[in-house]
Structures are given as structure tokens and as C-alpha cells.
């Protein structure tokens, strides 16, 4: 596959989480829609209210839409805005983790469970105790499952320190270490956190944490974790500078060392992704706003092959937007 391919031309889907279950690729995107809410820095215009699940047997082949897997109206604690979800498998069950604002307009992370990768997913009655912010991504190995989460601005991460809500949002100054994504091991029943969420440190090559003012490299949102040749790759969006970047480490908690840009800006404001190996090749799933003519809240899913250099760095992919 040399060229990026749009996967779902008939609908607006974004924020892909992608996994191989039973030998097939399963895609768990956000489902964008035209809600009429004006665009703002809080992300109110991303007013999604359900999830569809898609699958593929072949990266060039047909994409099957399995229909609605979860609706906001099915979730007892729901306020609004179903953002980026992820799904993982353990002991015969598929667990979907999703961010949603509760009735007080606070993002929490919810769980919904299915016996099949395509759903339908049945939501738990309450969000994960102690959860906050957005963009959960789950990485499992050796029977342990780690959740990565967090996002600044509309994702509300600036409202917390040490897992406690602040009286008001607060950003570090430009020279101070940036707000970190969070990593936490999930409990054995997959329904809660087994420990306090920790800061996932991203260091520059000189060993110092990236600073809040380093907007071209610091974390904004859209965590993803994958492993390649024994190295852990944490990748994320820089938000207002519109890059997907990555950092590497030798264990799931880090620290991670910044390595570079995975995807240059796309057409649109947000950039978000999943990285997955399928049939011996690596792929970057992501989104852009070309089909909607640049409407930032109507995004379209794409996939492109991703390549590593011999030293384990990733070849930067051109997102096609303004740099």
C-alpha cells in the first residue's frame, strides 16, 4: 500500500483505535456528525452520540460496518460527547473504554462490555472510579493491561494534579515541565484502576522533561502505545501544532524519550491515530478533513503503511496539511 486510503467514504469517522481480533482488523472510531454547535477551543462542536464498529479481512479489501455498537442514550450516567474510545480483550470478553462528559459536564472514562468484538457493548452503570479526562488507549501484555489517557484544553487534563481535581484549571508556565499523559494498570476484573495513575514522562534526548512551551513536541491528547522489536512506542498528538509524535521507552510506564514526528499536520485541526501490525506490515490509521472540505468536526478515516528505519525510528509520513 503506497497511498493513504479513505476507509469509510459514506460517513464521518475519526479517532481510530484498531486491533487484530480473531485474525481480522477491528476499527473503533468516533462517529462525527453535524450537530450545529459552533466551533470553540473547548471542543463543544465534537458532539458525537454513538459508536459504530468496522472490520476488515484485508487492508485493501472491503470494510464491513457492524452498525451501532453503543449509544449515548444507553449510558446511565451520560451527559454529552462520546469521544475517542478503545477496546481490548480478556478472558472471553471485549472491554470498551470511552470518554464521556457526565451530567456535570466533567469528562469521565466509562466501560462497556461485549462477548463479540463488533458489539453491541453493554455499558456499566457508573464510570471508572477516579477516572478523568479523555482518550483512553489500552495496551496489554503478559496478562497485564495498561490504560493511557489524558488531553488538555477541551480534554480537561489541566483541571487535575496528582489525580485530584483542582479548584480551577491551571497550566504550567512555558519553561516548566509540560502536563503529562497518564498511565495506569487496570485491575484484574478490568473494571477499575489497580493503582494511582502515574505521569508518563516524555524526555528530550538530553534527559529533561519536555516543557509546556515546547508546543511542537509536548503532549496534547490522543495517546497510543505499541511495541516493536522489544521497544515500547508511545505516540500522541501535539494538538494546536497538529503533529503526531512518538517517544520510546523500555517498559510500559516509561520514562519515554522523544524521537520525532510520525505524521505531519493533516487538513483539519485534530490529528489522531492507531498503529497496528497486520499480516507482517505496520499501518497508521488516522483521520483528516479533506472529504468534508476542511470542516474540523467532520473527519474521515484513512490508513497508510508505516515504515521503520533500521535503527527503529519511524519514517515520517506527510499528512498533506499546512506545515
**Site size toward ligand FUB, by CB under 6 A:** 13
DSSP code for 309: -
* Residue the block writes with cell 477499575: 192
Q: Which is nearer to ligand FUB, 204 or 291 (CB)?
A: 291
Cell of 317: 509520513
Is residue 134 a contact residue for ligand FUB (CB under 6 A)? yes
Is residue 272 a contact residue for ligand FUB (CB under 6 A)? yes
Q: Which is nearer to ligand FUB, 267 or 281 (CB)?
A: 267
User: Residue 241 — φ and ψ, nearest 5°?
Assistant: -110, 0
Q: Which is nearer to ligand FUB, 58 or 181 (CB)?
A: 181
Q: Give the CA distances from residue 310 to residues 41, 73, 118, 126, 251, in Å, rounded to whole numbers and listed in that order.
A: 40, 48, 36, 46, 21
Determine if residue 175 is left, alpha or beta; phi over 0 gives left, psi from -120 to 50 gives alpha, anything else beta.
alpha
Task: Please confirm, yes or no, whether 86 is among the known catalytic residues.
Answer: no
Min dist CB 241 to ligand FUB, Å, is: 14
- Select from 15, 86, 118, 288 the one that contacts ligand FUB (CB under 6 A): 15
Task: Please confirm, yes or no, whether 167 is among the known catalytic residues.
Answer: no
SS3 317: strand
- Select from 186, 222, 225, 284 the one that contacts ligand FUB (CB under 6 A): 222
Cell of 76: 446511565
Q: Which is nearer to ligand FUB, 15 or 118 (CB)?
A: 15
Between strands 160-161 and 78-80, the pairing is: unpaired
Question: Which positions lie near ligand FUB, rule CB under 6 A?
Answer: 14-15, 30, 46, 83-84, 134-135, 151, 221-222, 270, 272
- List active site positions: 15, 221
Amino acid at each position: 500500500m503506497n497511498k493513504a486510503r479513505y476507509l469509510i467514504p459514506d460517513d464521518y469517522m475519526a479517532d481510530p483505535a484498531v486491533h487484530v481480533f480473531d485474525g481480522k482488523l477491528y476499527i473503533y472510531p468516533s462517529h462525527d456528525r453535524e450537530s450545529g454547535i459552533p466551533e470553540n477551543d473547548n471542543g463543544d462542536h465534537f458532539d458525537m452520540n454513538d459508536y459504530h464498529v468496522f472490520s476488515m479481512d484485508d487492508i485493501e479489501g472491503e470494510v464491513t460496518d457492524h452498525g451501532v455498537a453503543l449509544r449515548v442514550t444507553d449510558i446511565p450516567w451520560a451527559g454529552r460527547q462520546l469521544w475517542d474510545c478503545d477496546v481490548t480483550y480478556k478472558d472471553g470478553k471485549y472491554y470498551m473504554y470511552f470518554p464521556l462528559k457526565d451530567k456535570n459536564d466533567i469528562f469521565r472514562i466509562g466501560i462497556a462490555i461485549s462477548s463479540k468484538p463488533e458489539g453491541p457493548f453493554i455499558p456499566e452503570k457508573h464510570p471508572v472510579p477516579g477516572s478523568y479526562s479523555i482518550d483512553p488507549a489500552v495496551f496489554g501484555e503478559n496478562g497485564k493491561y495498561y490504560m493511557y489517557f489524558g488531553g488538555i484544553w477541551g480534554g480537561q487534563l489541566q483541571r487535575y494534579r496528582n489525580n485530584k481535581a483542582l479548584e480551577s484549571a491551571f497550566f504550567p508556565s512555558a519553561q516548566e515541565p509540560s502536563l503529562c499523559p497518564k498511565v495506569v494498570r487496570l485491575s484484574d476484573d478490568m473494571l477499575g484502576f489497580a493503582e494511582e495513575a502515574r505521569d508518563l514522562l516524555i524526555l528530550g534526548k538530553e534527559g529533561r522533561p519536555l516543557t509546556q512551551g515546547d508546543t511542537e513536541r509536548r503532549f496534547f491528547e490522543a495517546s497510543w502505545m505499541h511495541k516493536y522489536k522489544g521497544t515500547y512506542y508511545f505516540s500522541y498528538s501535539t494538538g494546536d501544532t497538529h503533529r503526531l509524535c512518538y517517544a520510546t521507552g523500555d517498559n510500559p510506564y516509561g520514562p519515554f524519550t522523544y524521537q520525532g514526528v510520525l505524521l505531519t499536520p493533516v487538513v483539519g485541526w485534530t490529528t489522531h491515530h492507531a498503529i497496528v501490525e497486520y499480516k507482517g506490515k505496520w499501518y497508521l490509521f488516522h483521520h483528516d478533513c479533506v472529504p468534508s472540505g476542511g470542516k474540523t468536526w467532520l473527519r474521515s478515516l484513512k490508513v497508510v503503511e508505516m515504515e521503520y528505519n533500521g535503527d527503529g525510528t519511524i519514517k515520517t509520513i506527510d499528512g498533506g496539511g499546512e506545515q
